[in-house]
Amino acid sequence: MKVSEFAEKLNLEILTEGNGSSKDIKGMYICDLLSWAMSHAQKGDAWVTVHTHVNIIAVAVMADISCIVIPEGIEVEEATLKKAAQEGIAVLGTKKTAYEIACEAGKLL
Amino acid sequence: MTNGIIRQNFVIPADDFTAAGEASSSVKKMLIQLGVDPQKVKKTAISMYEAEINAVIHANGGIASVEIDRNKIFIRIEDHGPGIPDVELAMKEGYTTAPDAIREMGFGAGMGLPNMKRYADLLEIKTEVGKGTTVEITVYLS
C-alpha cells in the first residue's frame, strides 16, 4: 500500500508535502532505540517513533524504511522535515498512540 | 562494476548531529548506483552509520575513508577521541558510556559496536586510550 493511501485510511497528516508518499508500505515497526530500529526494521516498514530529531531520517534511509509515523501529536522539528523532503522519506503525524496506529495498520497491511 | 577501485573520503564533523549520517548516506547511494546487492548495501550502511555516529558522540568527529573494488567494500573510520579502555566490554550489547543527552535522543543503547559486528563481514578495532580509535569495516561482495 502506498504511503499516501495509508495516510488517508488511517487519517494521518502528511507533514512532508508529498515527498516520498508514493513509496510502498509493507509492514510496521515500532521502536525508539535507533540502533535497534535500524537493525531490526524490515525494508518497506512504516516506522513509529517518538523521536523527532533530524537523525531519524538517516536511520530511516539506512534501514530502507518507507515512512516515519510520529504518534501522540508530538511536534516535529522543521530541520527534520526539511531533511525528510531531501531524502524522500514521508513523515506522518497523528494524535493516535503507537498502539492505536498498529491496531489500525494491522487490518490494512 | 569495473575492475577499478573507487576511493572516497568524508569528514565527520564534531558534535554535529544534523550532519551525522551524511557520509553513510552518501556511501549507501553510491553502492546503489553501482548496482551492489541490496543486502550488502544494508550491511554496509548500518555498520558504517553506527561507526559514524560513534565518532560524533564520543570523539569530536573524524575521517571516514571508503574503498570499493569488485571484491569488497572497505570502510575506515578514524577519530582522535578518548579511545576505548576495554574493547571486549564495549562490544557487549547494552554496555554504553554515552551521556544522558545522547541517550534521550535514542542513541547510546549500547548497540553500536554489536551492530557493526553483526553486519560487517570483518570488523577490526584499533584503539589507544587518549589517542583515538580506528574502526575498519569490510563487507565482501564476492
What is the b/e burial string over B21-41, where b = at least 16 CB atoms within 10 angstroms of the residue's CB? bbbbbebbebbeeeebeeebb
Query: DSSP readout, B119-134?
Result: H-SEEEEEEETTTEEE
As given in the structure block, the three cell numbers for residue B82 are 578518548
Nearest CA in chain B to A40: B115
Structure confidence by residue, pLDDT tens digits, A23-40: 999 999 999 999 999 999
pLDDT on residue B19: 85
Domain range annotation of chain A: 3-108
CATH number for the segment(s) A3-108: 3.40.1390.20
DSSP state of B18: T
Q: Is A55 on the interface with B (CB under 8 A)?
A: yes
Write down the mean pLDDT value for chain B.
Answer: 95
pLDDT on residue B17: 82
Q: Is B45 on the interface with A (CB under 8 A)?
A: yes
Nearest CA in chain A to B23: A58
Tell how many helices (H) and how many strands (E) occur in chain B. Answer: 5, 5
Q: Do B49 and A79 touch (CB under 8 A)?
A: no
pLDDT on residue B3: 67
- Residue B4 buriedness (CB in 10 A; 0-12 / 13-18 / 19+): exposed
Q: CB atoms < 10 A from the CB of A17, how many? A: 11
Topology (CATH) of B12-140: Heat Shock Protein 90 (3.30.565)
Residues A10-27 have a mean pLDDT of 94
Structure confidence by residue, pLDDT tens digits, B19-54: 889 999 999 999 999 999 999 999 999 999 999 999
pLDDT band, residue B2 (cuts 50/70/90): low
Among B7, B37, B44, CA closest to B121: B44
